[in-house]
Amino acid sequence: MTHTIQPNNPEATPAPDATDIPATTPPAPSTTQAPAAPPAAAAVPAALKRRIPKYSDLAPLMQFKKPEFSKEARLKRASTVWELRDIAKRRTPQAPFDYTDGAAEAEITLRRARQAFLDIEFRPGILRNVSAIDLSTDILGKPSRLPVGIAPTGFTRMMQSEGEYAGSQAAEAAGIPYTLSTMGTASIEDVAAAAPNGRNWFQLYLWTDRDRSLELIERAAKAGNDTLMVTVDTAVAGARLRDVRNGMTIPPALTIKTVLDASYRPAWWFNFLTHEPLTFASLSRYTGTVADLINSMFDPTLTFEDLDWLRETWKGNLVVKGIQTVEDARRVVGHGADGVILSNHGGRQLDRAPIPFHLLPEVKEAFTKDNTDAAIMLDTGIMSGADIVAALALGADFTLIGRAYLYGLMAGGRAGVDRTLQILEKDMARTMALLGASKISELTPDHVRLLNN
């Protein structure tokens, strides 16, 4: 015997099979039985009944704000470094913007460096107490309120007239290190005066003229710089093709193209023309292209023996920037370096160079095997606080930002640099909380998985 269930009503009582029905005519319905009443309509909830809205209901929604066009409002609306970059591009002439934004040749290295931070998977821990996030750390024997410092950048007052003064003062206020470049447009002494309570570092390019290098080293020490950062990846200049196409010179030349560009960015040109002319404050006056300057001034004959000379000469912390292999990281520590900076110069020298973020775990493993306490720092490609947290988790002791802070500088001067650091700090705190880490020492490689490795 079989039963049939209607597909649209699986709970209905099964109908009897036809073989169970008596072979008789069914009785006619009773004429005295009342017809069944239709089902009662469901009551409409009060919240769903239509009504004319009251003013008291609309008032909280009608909060129209007067449009704000101030610098402060513009910067406040930016919630990422990328958005600061967009503002910077609108407010800065093409040549200085491209000098900051561009890299060498086809700019493959820069794209890969940024993509490396995207090609990861965070692996959060749950049920941890993250009610308070501590982002402070120690680097090279002193505390830093955040695990990031400002990297050395040349020609900074060309990007925006406040230049190195804005960077050093913002770093001082944030409680992080600031690094002045040999090719900076503010002198060692002026930066020290602008940020007297900041932690100032000095970046050095070793010249063929050792006496001039020694003079800079002595000035840096006298001005209170506790760390010397020697850059070793500029034997010759990289092919920065955007600069070539823009006819980039120091100082910027007034051509028909630049005058037309200025018409859309009058504030930049007003600031540029009404402040002290740009010079390399640590050097003698120079006019020409960036590549010509590097090729005429920097020494392609440098060897590890020159690092020995620096170690004997400089009594503070010595850091080597531009490390791109595990072997070289080990060698510079063997020659007296207190720390290394894994860096390919922001992709501005050798295109298709190693990516610092990918190199980081190998260097960390090598230093652990060597039982060295030399600091591992990293730059290139950092555009968010999450990038910084990922680097710390994979073994970095500290990070440095160049372009990220320059985008803020071009977007709004000192206030723009402050905004960059605020964005990064908020990113870092949020990322760590979601990972289940309340302080930097709790970050481990288990928190990050490299998807393409």
According to DSSP, the residues that pair with 399 across neighbouring strands are: 148, 378
CB 377 within 8 A of CB 413: no
Q: Which residues have C-beta within 8 Å of that of residue 10, sequence separation ≥ 6?
A: none
Phi, psi of 344 (to 5 degrees): -110, 30
- Distance separating alpha carbons of residues 125 and 110, to the nearest angstrom: 31
- Distance separating alpha carbons of residues 72 and 49, to the nearest angstrom: 45
Instruction: Taking each helix axis as running N to C, give the angle between helix 81-91 and helix 403-435, from 0 to 180 degrees, rounded to the nearest 10.
Output: 160
Which structure tokens are listed for 433?
């909380």
Which structure tokens are listed for 353?
């160079």
Of the candidates 275, 345, 358, 447, the residue annotated as catalytic is 345
Tell me whether residue 358 is one of the annotated catalytic residues: no
CA distance to 101, 135, 148, 192, 447, per residue, from 337 (Å): 30, 26, 20, 24, 29
Q: Which residues have C-beta within 8 Å of that of residue 5, sequence separation ≥ 6?
A: 12, 14
In the block, tokens 């402070």 appear at 136
Q: Kindly report the length of the chain.
A: 453
CB 329 within 8 A of CB 366: yes
Would you please indicate which residues are annotated as catalytic (active-site) residues? 345
